[in-house]
Chains A and B, each alone.
Chain A
Amino acid sequence: MFKFLLLMLLSTSVLADSLSWTGPTHNTDGSVLTDLAGYKIYYGNTEGGPYPELLVDIDNPSVVNYELPVLPSGDYYFVSTAYNTSGVESDYSNEAQKTIIVEPNPPTNLIVDAGNLTAYILVQSRNNIALLPVGNVIAGTECDSTQNVKGHYIVPVESVEFIAQVNPQVVVAKCV
């Protein structure tokens, strides 16, 4: 006799960059679940569904978490299902939401633009950082692309021709 099984809904949550869920222990008819075979995770980009994309098929019932792969920026809504050894799949679990923000890599090979050679020092007060001009940077100077302050990057102090009577440790300039 064919026994159509539906599995209990799972509980899905998003933790940091992984999904975790709680597997079912019973069938929908109340009987004890003995033939759990695995889980599937689906996702969509609309709250409340649909979830047209299959993220992963995990054919191991003891696995209850999954590290998210790199996904494009956006809002994601995940649900999971459980399936048994007969391939019968449960209804969707609750929905878990995650917003993925992919930051671009910092720019590389930045140099001081010949059209904007002003060198600045940083003046910090309360929650504001002001850029005060102190001289000019030698055109073509390489910039430190790893630190961006208001669209300006650190340049070597020795590349600055100071006009102001100052001897700072950090100087920034507009780089391209």
Chain B
Amino acid sequence: MDAQLTWELPTPGPRQNTISHVLIEGRLTGIQEWTAINTVDAPETSLTIQDIVPGGWEFRGTVVDIDDKRSPPLIATLVVPYDEPSSLVSFDAALV
């Protein structure tokens, strides 16, 4: 199962520089630190996480301009459910 992150880029104001990319970070519920997952160059606005592991996820997106100035981040959460369990390995009925 994949997870897709999507976002809308801001339009730089008169005192803001050209946007370079968006920094995508992530962490699992229970972990304090954020880890860089990928960077997505503007004007792209999505990133797919392949084969995402079941659990509680937080993602953080930060806009970075061409001078490496960074925006305040936005956070998105995702709960990736576990699959249903597998069937019994065997199941029999007998008179005893």
Contact = CB atoms under 8 A, between A and B. Distances in A.
Central interface residue in A125, A134, A168, by most chain B CB within 10 Å:
A125
A168 B52 CA distance: 9
A132 B38 contact: no
Interface of A: 121, 123-126, 128, 130-134, 162-168
Nearest to A120: B35
Interface stretch (B42-50, B62-70, B85-93): B42-50
- The range of chain B's interface size is 20 to 34
Interface string B8-35: 0000000000000000101111110101
B28 A132 contact: yes
Contacts of B52: 123
Interface of B: 24, 26-31, 33, 35-38, 47-56, 82
24 contacts: A121-B53, A123-B35, A123-B37, A125-B38, A125-B48, A125-B50, A126-B38, A126-B48, A128-B38, A130-B36, A130-B37, A131-B35, A132-B27, A132-B31, A132-B35, A133-B31, A134-B28, A162-B30, A163-B30, A163-B31, A164-B29, A164-B31, A164-B56, A165-B28
B35 A133 contact: yes
B49 A124 contact: yes
Nearest to A162: B30
Nearest to B53: A168
A168 B53 CA distance: 6
A166 B28 contact: yes
B47 A123 contact: no
4 closest A-B pairs (Cβ-Cβ)? A166-B55, A164-B28, A164-B30, A130-B37
B48 A167 contact: no
